[in-house]
Amino acid sequence: MRDAQGNLYGTTYLGGASDNGTVFKLAPAAATKTTTMLSSSPNPSTYGQAVTFTAAVTSKSKLGAPPNGETVTFMEGTAVLGTGALGGGSASFMTSALNAGTNSITAVYGGDSNFAGSTSPALTQKVNKAGSSVSVVSSKNPAAFGATVTFTAALESTPWPKRCSGSGTPTGMVTFKNGGATLGTGMLSGGKASFSTAKLAVGSHSITAVYGGDGNFNPSTSAVLKQTITKAATTASVVSSKNPSISGKAVTFTATVESTTTGTPTGTVTFKNGGATLGTRTLSGGEARYTTSTLAVGSHSITAVYGGSTSYSGSTSPPLTQKVNP
């Protein structure tokens, strides 16, 4: 092949021709040396943000740049990120899958029969951690004392929540707090973490979800959720040890107080005969007993009145008709 000045290129003379009939011997010329340079935009970037790598492949040969359509491979260390086709001496590849940290990127032009392959100097692509946003909701608010409440935290990445390539969901642990006290922790799965408790006291609680961050996302804390816990409702009942009873003989009334949620109510129960108070006893294991032998002959309407506590609301049993025979 000849260039514009008529000089041969693309072959190498191994011998010459002479008048005595010596034949020229030709061999393929060495492939033209190339240089590959790599740039990126933006740099630094944020985790989940798309980064474009551009490789420029040049040569000093009169052949110019390698042909359009040839392949440049973009590498992160020894791992292939992807490929791009040359056009006008450059090829590009875009990705949003780089992990946070310092990434060493190279571009490799493979070469062809006329152009030797070349690898760019390593480009340091810095990827900053993405921001995160956490919110927390309650399964029941207000909730009664002793009821199980589940707090669920939801994590999102910022500022590119929709542009993370398959790995854009925060991972790690969320700590659930009641004011400054830790309630418990939950492991993130699919961007959510939960914690359940039935031990919140009656009153108002300031609940927050604290995300500790991971390799790609920064920590964050949710806005305060006000969780209200009300007193648990109770039910009271009363039974008699002997009904009907005999005048002057002892009869024992047993009151049972139960919570409509969980736990065992504490406090006192007042035993009444109609509007008159018979006596007051302290609950033990949810029960209280009152014994009397002073009931007059006839019919009596006995009730057990639970006075409530800091955690449980008061309640009154249905009336028990106690008959006393002579």
pLDDT at 6: 38
8 Å CB contact between 48 and 39: no
Q: What is the pTM of this model?
A: 0.79
pLDDT of residue 27 exceeding 70: no
pLDDT at 146: 97
pLDDT-based confidence at 161, cuts 50/70/90?
A: very low
Q: Which of 25-29, 173-177, 227-231 has the lowest mean pLDDT?
A: 25-29
Let me know if the fold of 31-128 is the same as that of 234-325: yes
pLDDT at 158: 77
8 Å CB contact between 229 and 145: yes
pLDDT at 29: 58
In whole numbers, what is the pLDDT of the chain averaged over residues? Answer: 90
- Per-residue pLDDT reduced to its tens digit, 261-272: 999 999 999 999
- Per-residue pLDDT reduced to its tens digit, 276-320: 999 999 999 999 999 999 999 999 999 999 999 999 999 999 999
How many angstroms separate the CA atoms of 99 and 53, rounded?
Answer: 15
8 Å CB contact between 106 and 39: no
Fold annotation for 31-128: Immunoglobulin-like (2.60.40)
- Report the pLDDT averaged over residues 86-95: 97
pLDDT of residue 324 exceeding 70: yes
pLDDT at 157: 84
CATH fit for domain 234-325, picks 3.40.50.10440, 3.40.720.10, 2.60.40.10, 3.40.1670.10 = 2.60.40.10
How many angstroms separate the CA atoms of 130 and 102, rounded?
Answer: 14
Tell me the backbone φ, ψ of residue 219, rounded to 5 degrees: -65, 160
Residue 35 neighbours by CB under 8 Å, 6+ apart: 57, 58, 59, 118
8 Å CB contact between 245 and 291: no
pLDDT-based confidence at 21, cuts 50/70/90?
A: low
pLDDT of residue 325 exceeding 80: yes
pLDDT at 78: 96
Dmax over Cα atoms in the chain, in whole Å? 157
8 Å CB contact between 314 and 308: yes
Domain ranges of the chain: 31-128, 131-230, 234-325
- Per-residue pLDDT reduced to its tens digit, 206-254: 999 999 999 999 999 999 999 999 999 999 999 999 999 999 999 999 9
CATH fit for domain 131-230, picks 2.40.180.10, 1.10.260.40, 2.60.40.10, 1.20.1250.20 = 2.60.40.10
